[in-house]
Amino acid sequence: MKNLLCLTAGAILLTAACSAPKLSSYAAKTDLKGKAKYDFNQSKIRENGKGFAVDMGALGKMPKRIALVSFYIDDPGITHVSGTNATGKSFNTSNTGSANGKIFANDFSSKSIETLKASFKTYGIDVLTPSEFLTDDDKKQAYNDFVVKHTAGNKIGEKFAKWAKKMGNSGTTIEMDEAADGYKLVKINKTEMSDAKKKSVGLQNLNGSIDGQMIESVGYDLCKSLEVDAVMIIFNTQLADTKWSKTRFWLSAVNMHILGPNPTPLKEGKKDNNFYSKGLFYCGVRMPFKKGLAINPKIKDEAKKAENDKLNDVAYKNMIAGCANKIGGYLQKELDKSKK
């Protein structure tokens, strides 16, 4: 009986390990639009232009040319705590690392760009990469010199969040951001906590954001300097940890956001205030996973490992298409509603 119990327990553990969600499992899921959830402040501008999200009726048309200004990997890190207050606690932190972050950013961006372009093209939108929107020296300099601004309140909140996180991690810094080659890091997401067991992050990140300076600097300043209708930012939230005696990587969420100029100018004589921004959210989505998807699961057979990598590419393209269709469908629906 004892041996049977041991075997049963072993079988359960083996089943649990085998059933861990993998990125490659999404290769067969070709319609992921419903998986992408809105993740932006949906407070639309009023007649005076005050608000945080564009009113497609005021804009009057779909944004034709959108510059993909940033594609990056964001890893909030994982901290494992061992020991007790009595015996003394030790903290072990891990993240994807800059070198790996760069590899992932380059791989995901290069293999999904055509899918991204094709998906938005169905809505009459042209997505431009840096080589397509950096057409002169002035634009190149404006892009390279651009710095995301933040309101005072958000700066304080960000510092407090980092402080609280560091206190819990015994003072360690574990966040990592890395952009793909050719892209500037235009970081817009807020600091977040990760679930070490589920390898997951929160369902939302920018929902309800009132960081007016960030929205304006990205949606207006950067957009105008590049002479495009709007700008797009894509980032993957990933986690990394040691498992099966090797570093394993998990995709926790795919994020896609579009920001652009406010189509309603302030009335003559009025001054900017905290409720008016020259830039606005046009739309933003986040495709989170309840359990992080293993990017490099434990596979000993080289042929099967190669096949898994190919399926990873297809799966990620499906995710990018899902996010693009969620945004494109939203913009088109809002525009159509305004014309009725």
pLDDT of residue 165: 45
Q: What is the mean pLDDT of the chain?
A: 88
What distance in Å separates the CA atoms of residue 73 and residue 238, rounded to the nearest whole number? 7
- Phi/psi at 308 (nearest 5 deg)? -60, -40
pLDDT above 70: percentage of residues in the chain: 82
The tens digit of pLDDT for each residue in 121-162 reads 999 999 999 999 999 999 999 999 999 999 875 443 444 444
Task: Read off the pTM.
Answer: 0.88
pLDDT of residue 105: 98
pLDDT of residue 242: 82
| pLDDT top residue among 81 and 251 | 251
Return the closest-CA partner of residue 219 out of 210, 207, 228, 206: 228
The tens digit of pLDDT for each residue in 38-77 reads 999 999 999 999 999 999 999 999 999 999 999 999 999 9
> How would you classify the pairing of strands 37-38 and 230-243?
unpaired
- Is the pLDDT reported for residue 10 higher than 50? no
For the chain, which residues make up each domain, given as ranges? Answer: 22-338
- In which band, very low, low, confident or very high, does the pLDDT at 88 lie, cut at 50, 70 and 90? low
- In which band, very low, low, confident or very high, does the pLDDT at 94 lie, cut at 50, 70 and 90? confident
Q: How far is CA 41 from the centre of its chain?
A: 15
> How would you classify the pairing of strands 65-75 and 126-128?
parallel
pLDDT of residue 14: 38
The tens digit of pLDDT for each residue in 313-324 reads 999 999 999 999
What distance in Å separates the CA atoms of residue 190 and residue 210, rounded to the nearest whole number? 12
CB 66 within 8 A of CB 256: no
Return the closest-CA partner of residue 323 out of 262, 260, 233: 233
pLDDT of residue 79: 77
Least confident among 28-32, 88-92, 217-221, 317-321? 88-92
- In which band, very low, low, confident or very high, does the pLDDT at 37 lie, cut at 50, 70 and 90? very high
CB 27 within 8 A of CB 311: yes
Q: How far is CA 206 from the centre of its chain?
A: 10
- In which band, very low, low, confident or very high, does the pLDDT at 82 lie, cut at 50, 70 and 90? low
Q: Containing H/E element for 112? A: helix 98-121
- In which band, very low, low, confident or very high, does the pLDDT at 169 lie, cut at 50, 70 and 90? very low
- Amino acid in position 99: A
pLDDT of residue 136: 98
For 209, counting Cβ atoms within 10 Å of its Cβ (0-12 exposed, 13-18 middle, 19+ buried), the class is buried
- What is the rounded (10 degree) CA torsion for 215, 212, 35, 322? -10
